[in-house]
Structures are given as C-alpha cells and as structure tokens.
Amino acid sequence: MEPVKILIADDEPDIALILKTTLMRNGYTVVVAVDGEEALEKARAERPGLLLLDLMMPKKDGYQVCRTLREDPQFSLLPIVMLTAKGEAADRLLGFEVGADDYIIKPFDRDELVARVRAILRRRPQQQAVQPVETAEGLVPTGLPSLDRVLEGGVPKGTNLLVLGLIGSGKSSFGRRFVAAGLASGEPCLCISVDDNPSVVRQGLDEAAAGALSTCERAGLFRLVDAYSWCAGGAGTAERFAVTGILELTQLSGVVSDAAGELGQTIQDKRGGRRVIDSISSLLVNFELSSVQRFVAHLARSAVACGGVSSLFIVEGGAVSDQALNNIRYVVDGVLEFRREETRHYVRVASMKWRRASPSWTEITLT
C-alpha cells in the first residue's frame, strides 16, 4: 500500500521543516506549500490524503483555503487540520464552521500531532478523501420508483444524501420507503429516530415493509436507535438501543455504533446496507454547529469503509439556518429537496456528485 500523502501549507520555513521531517519519519509522503494560493494549486495537483493548514498565510489565509476546498465536491471529504498559534475559542469555531476537521495549537507536541493525524486517517480512509462517488454501476433503488426515474436508476451504493423539506412534504415517507427497499433486498438497515416517537417510526416502517419489520429484526437485518426520549423530556423507552438521560452527541455516537455493530455495518464486517437519521434538525438546533458537523461527518465518511452504507440525513425545512445547512452539505454526496402542493408531492435534485443538479421540480408518487 502506498504511503498517505500529506500536504503541509505553512509560510514559516522552520515549522514546515519540522512537520515534514516528523511526518516522513512516520512513513508519510509530504508536499509543502508556502502560501494559500500554492496550497490550493498543490491540493488540486497532488490530491493529498490530508491537509495540515496554517491559519495565517500570505495571499490566502487558512480559512479561505479551507472554504474554497469545501466548496469543491472532490475535496468535500478531504481531512483538513488547522495548525495555528491562535487558540481562542472563536478562532477554533470559525475553523470548524468553514469545514476543518481538527485544530492543533502551536507550539505542538510532535508525538501528539502524529497521533491525531493517524486518528483522523483511521476514521476517514484516504481513498474516500479525494475520489468521487462511483457513477456507472452499483445503483441501488430508493424505494420510490418515480424518484428512481428522476435519479436515472437510483443512487450509487454508499451515497450520503441530505433530504430537505417542510413538515408533510414527503421526506419522512421517503425515508421509510428507503429502509423498506433495503430490507426487501436483504440489506441491513439502521434507523435513528430523533424527532419522532420510536413506536410511530416502527409502525410506519412496518407498513412500508408490508408487515415484515419484526421478521427482519429477528433476522438481524434491522435495528432502531431511540434518541427521541431525550427530545420528549426524558420519557421512558422500550428500545434496546437508546440514549439515556441527557442527550450528548458522544453518547449518541456510541449507541449508533453498538446498533451498527449488530448489523455488521462496521469496518471489519463491511456488510453495507442503509441508514436513515430522522432528523438531524434537533441536533442542529440544540448543539454547536461544529459538533453536529463532526457527528454527521463521522457517519458519512465511514460509509465506504463499512461496506458501502447508503445514508439519508433528514432535515426539517426552515428549522435551521442556511449556514448550518451549507456546512452539512460539505460532507454529503447530494441534496434532495421535497415539497407538497395540496395532495401532490414534488422532488428536486439540488446537488449530486455523480450527476447534474436540476433546478426543476418533478412530481413523484410516495407509494
């Protein structure tokens, strides 16, 4: 296996030399840029597996470089670590808001820096950072034939989609159909319920799966994570996988990991399948944007490593700011927008990495 290539962008020659020497001794290939414009040029030419980005640089600062790369779909998953002498909370928050994955303060401990680089690369394998989603083959049906026609056959395996729409627009119905289609194909499916009572979610999924939900669960094909009890003021739950007490994103990540482990949606088992989070709106409202972005990024970026898990991240339209949505857009492969007019439902492909987006709305059937 070829060593991971790391791009260092720092205008201080002594710091750049220390970083280069340290990383090369630990088996990495290193490329160096001395200003923001050169960092962008070398990122596009060298396709690194990780970027160590100084904040204060000539021509373009680290914020500008990070924002520019995150706006380019081919770099939306590139691990970016901000490396700077600035340690104020506001500076770190801004770094996360423009799409940074981590923030290391100068002066730094070399062993700690290497450990954090390794940790980021373990969470997000190098090949995911620079390659777009597969395009020609491997399309999986969404569960809505009319939507599959809009998407020219379905979505590539391992796709992460942001699904937007007002209440009643059809986005949650789409989520249920998406899971039901996976179960019908024998795929392991995970549902994370945040804004809806798990009993209601189960009823909707069972209807969509023609009464087969309990059978699939006994067969190890379905698991449900209950994060709703926190939203409901600490209500009790009968679910095996549930957040207890006050919701924390670290606890939620652990519960999701436990449920996914039983399904084989792990780096070791690589069973793939599907995953729906309905919805992340409450998370975006109740937690810092940077924390939610890291939570979503962790789930999205593990998709390929876990065997190609196709995921939906559902958001209530109008519930969160455009800034929050834009930051989440960085870590997904596409955006679908749903709306309803009287009894009719429509969808729009707002963005996709494997095909062109479309400004037009197309009527769909939710059955």
> What are the pLDDT digits (tens) for 21-77?
999 999 999 999 999 999 999 999 988 999 999 888 899 988 888 888 877 767 767
CATH code of 217's domain:
3.40.50.300
Pairing mode, if any, of strands 29-33 and 50-54? unpaired
Q: What is the pTM of this model?
A: 0.65
Shared domain for 124 and 157, answered yes or no, is no
> With 70 as the cut, is the pLDDT of residue 104 above it?
yes
Q: For residue 278, what pLDDT is reported? A: 92
Residue 124 has pLDDT above 80, yes or no: no
**pLDDT tens per residue across span 285-338:** 888 887 888 888 888 878 877 888 999 999 998 888 887 888 788 778 889 999
Tell me which of 69, 96, 130 is where a domain ends: 130
Q: Is a pLDDT exceeding 60 seen at residue 361?
A: yes
The structural domain count of the chain equals 2
Contact 55, 61 (CB under 8 A): yes
How many CB atoms are closer than 10 A to CB 168? Answer: 12
The reported pLDDT for the residue numbered 358 is 76
State whether 239 and 352 are in the same domain.
yes
**What per-residue confidence (pLDDT) applies to 249?**
86
Residue 235 pLDDT greater than 80, yes or no: no
* Burial tier of 317 (Cβ tally within 10 Å: 0-12, 13-18, 19+): middle
Q: Which pLDDT does position 133 carry in this prediction?
A: 37
| Lowest-confidence segment of 66-70, 231-235, 270-274 by average pLDDT | 231-235
Say if residue 66 is in the same domain as residue 159.
Answer: no
Range of the domain at 223: 139-364
Whether residue 244 is found in the same domain as residue 341: yes
> How far does Cα 345 stand from its chain's mean position?
26
- pLDDT, position 97: 59
Work out the widest C-alpha separation in the chain, in whole angstroms: 65
